[in-house]
Amino acid sequence: MPAKLESVIAPSRDESGVPKSLPKTQRVAIATSHGAGVELKSDHPVPTPGPNDVLVHIIRTGVCHTDLHALDGDWEVKSKLPVIAGHEGAGVVVKVGENVDFLQEGDRVGVKWLQSTCGQCEFCLDGKETVCSNQQRTGFSCDGTFQEYAVASAAHVIPIPEGLSNDQAAPILCAGVTVYKGLKETEVKPGQWVVVSGAGGGLGHLAVQYARAMGMRVIAIDHPSKESFCSKLKAEAFVPFTLKPDELTQKIKSITNGGAHGALLAVASPEPYATALTYLRSWGTLVTLGLPKRGSQIPVDIFDTVMRRLTVRGSIVGDRKDAREAMEFAARGDVKVEVEVVGWENLKEVLGKMKEGKLQGRVVLDTSK
Ligand SMILES: [Zn+2]
Ligand SMILES: [Zn+2]
């Protein structure tokens, strides 16, 4: 409850917002059962980092759609309970585990969805840690960043480059790295065409910018009301999704002189995927980032897929290298997140709006005051 939170006396802080002494208790947004939402508490114990962990004072945390699923428990795999959600945390290391010699107190780091991986399975050994079956997920299988102090696996925190604000860094830790990796997975080369569906949305507006910075030519698909926003992002062409599927395909084929080399989709309904397969060029790749309900199908014409050598590929967040690279793009100013920063007390309202699909861009919580 906001009133209760406001009544907490804030500890004295240095100029970067870090308290001068580590408190014993902290503010958190915690869920004790699925579907009941979060409770804002101000007397939750500050956790102790293990030997291979760091304790991060979270200054900003993004709010991601996956947090809703963690809190609602509407996936087959459910989050632990009670759970502190959140996996886009930007902050400062305030305590270092005894085995950690590569991070120091005061380092700015990001805490992301992939909290830790086993490092020993066939996928980890092969550089494919995003599908490690022994992974821990931040704000899901372990507590996340909707708290002032989060324990994080030292090997997996991402350094935040100097000059990049916490407001901008936080959303890169999930939204940014997810679209950046997805674009890599399209295998579209510089000078070739990629279609970003939902280009004006939270993920899409980042995808347009990453694609441009990676040298791709971008066609943005979204509602007509998003056209000017997409052209501001420097998408080379805009196609409204209100067109009939065959018109949309014709339009893209004509812009690209034969079809797009890749498409990045993060939508929940099956139709746009079916259409994407018709506007891809031969040898093209459709990458899917969306997480619609389990059992949702992509209608794939097998004959066409064989004859035109199409690829349909899933992509899930990114590994540590992807996350560092995604962060560097933002630090260089090639990617700018459309971000709204709000206080703790607004979290419930933010989650409600997100559920109704009423959020614009990314919302970031200021957890420092
Ligand atoms: Zn996320
Ligand atoms: Zn593994």
One fold for both 2-160+338-366 and 177-314?
A: no
pLDDT, tens digit, 9 for 90 and up, residues 93-121: 999 999 999 999 999 999 999 999 999 99
| Residue 182 neighbours by CB under 8 Å, 6+ apart | 207, 264, 266, 287, 289, 315
Residue-range domain boundaries for the chain: 2-160+338-366, 177-314
269's CB contacts (< 8 A; 6+ apart) are 292
Ligand closest to CA 123: 2
One digit per residue, the tens of pLDDT, for the chain of length 369 reads: 343 433 334 456 676 666 778 999 999 999 999 999 999 999 999 999 999 999 999 999 999 999 999 999 998 899 999 999 999 999 999 999 999 999 999 999 999 999 999 999 999 999 999 999 999 999 999 999 999 999 999 999 999 999 999 999 999 999 999 999 999 999 999 999 999 999 998 999 999 999 999 999 999 999 999 999 999 999 999 999 999 999 999 999 999 999 999 999 988 788 899 999 999 999 999 999 988 778 888 989 999 999 999 999 999 999 999 999 999 999 999 999 999 999 999 999 999 999 888 887 799 999 987
Buried b (16+ CB within 10 A) or exposed e, 60-94: bbbbbbbbebbbbbeeeeebeeebbbbbbbbbbbb
Q: Which two tokens stand for residue 64?
A: 């991601």
H-helix or E-strand spanning residue 264: strand 260-265
Render pLDDT for 268-300 as a digit per residue (tens, 0 to 9).
788 899 999 999 999 999 999 988 778 888 989
Q: Is the dihedral of CA 249, 313, 198, 328 positive or negative?
A: negative
Distance CA 220, CA 290 (A): 17
Cβ contacts of 106 within 8 Å, gap of 6 or more: 18, 92, 93
Contact 139, 45 (CB under 8 A): no
Task: Residue 70: name the closest of 28, 113, 110 by CA.
Answer: 113
Q: Which ligand is nearest to the CA of 70?
A: 1
Report strand pairing: 53-62 vs 149-153.
Answer: antiparallel
Ligand closest to the CA atom of residue 86: 1
Number of the ligand closest to the Cα of 130: 2
What is the whole-number distance in angstroms between the Cα of residue 114 and the centre of ligand 1? 10
Which of 110, 103, 109, 105 shows the shortest CA–CA distance to 94?
Answer: 105
Provide the CATH number for the domain formed by 177-314 in this structure.
3.40.50.720
pLDDT at 6: 37
Contacts of 142 (CB under 8 A, 6+ apart): 80, 115, 136, 151
Kindly identify the ligand whose nearest atom is closest to the C-alpha of 116.
Answer: 2
Residues with CB under 5 A from ligand 1 (ion): 64, 66, 174
Question: According to the CATH classification, is domain 2-160+338-366 in 3.30.565.10?
Answer: no
Taking every pair of Cα atoms in the chain, the longest distance, rounded to a whole number of angstroms, is 67
Distance 114 CA to ligand 2 centre (A): 11
Instruction: Determine the distance separating the centroid of ligand 2 and the alpha carbon of 268, expressed in angstroms.
Output: 29
